[in-house]
Amino acid sequence: MARKQRMHYSGALYHVMARGNNGEYVLKKPEDKKKYIETIKKYKERYKFLIYAYCIMDNHVHLLIEVNETPLSKIMQGIQLVYTQDYNRKYKRTGHVFQQRYKAIVCNKDGYLLHLTKYIHRNPVEANITKDANYEWSSYSKYIRGKADFVDTSFVLNILSHNKVKARAEYKKYIEEGADDIEECEYEVEEAQTGNIHRTKKMGIDTLIAK
Q: To the nearest whole percent, how much of the chain has pLDDT over 90?
A: 71
The pTM (predicted TM-score) of the whole model is: 0.84
Domains annotated on the chain, with CATH: 13-196 (3.30.70.1290)
Q: Which of 10-19, 55-64, 102-111, 130-139 has the lowest mean pLDDT?
A: 102-111
- What is the secondary structure of the chain as a DSSP string? -PPPPP---TT-EEEEEEEBGGG--TT-SHHHHHHHHHHHHHHHHHH--EEEEEEE-SSEEEEEEE--SS-HHHHHHHHHHHHHHHHHHHTT--S-SB-S-EEEEEE-HHHHHHHHHHHHHTHHHHTTS-SSS--TTBSHHHHHSS--TTS--HHHHHHH-SSHHHHHHHHHHHHHT-PPP----SEEEEE-TT--EEE-----GGGG---
Kindly report, residue by residue over 88-101, the tens digit of the pLDDT: 999 999 999 998 77
Kindly report, residue by residue over 23-53, the tens digit of the pLDDT: 899 999 999 999 999 999 999 999 999 999 9
The pLDDT, as a whole number, for residue 179 is 74
The pLDDT, as a whole number, for residue 108 is 86
The pLDDT, as a whole number, for residue 193 is 38
Segment 154-179 mean pLDDT:
95
Higher-confidence position of 199 and 211: 199
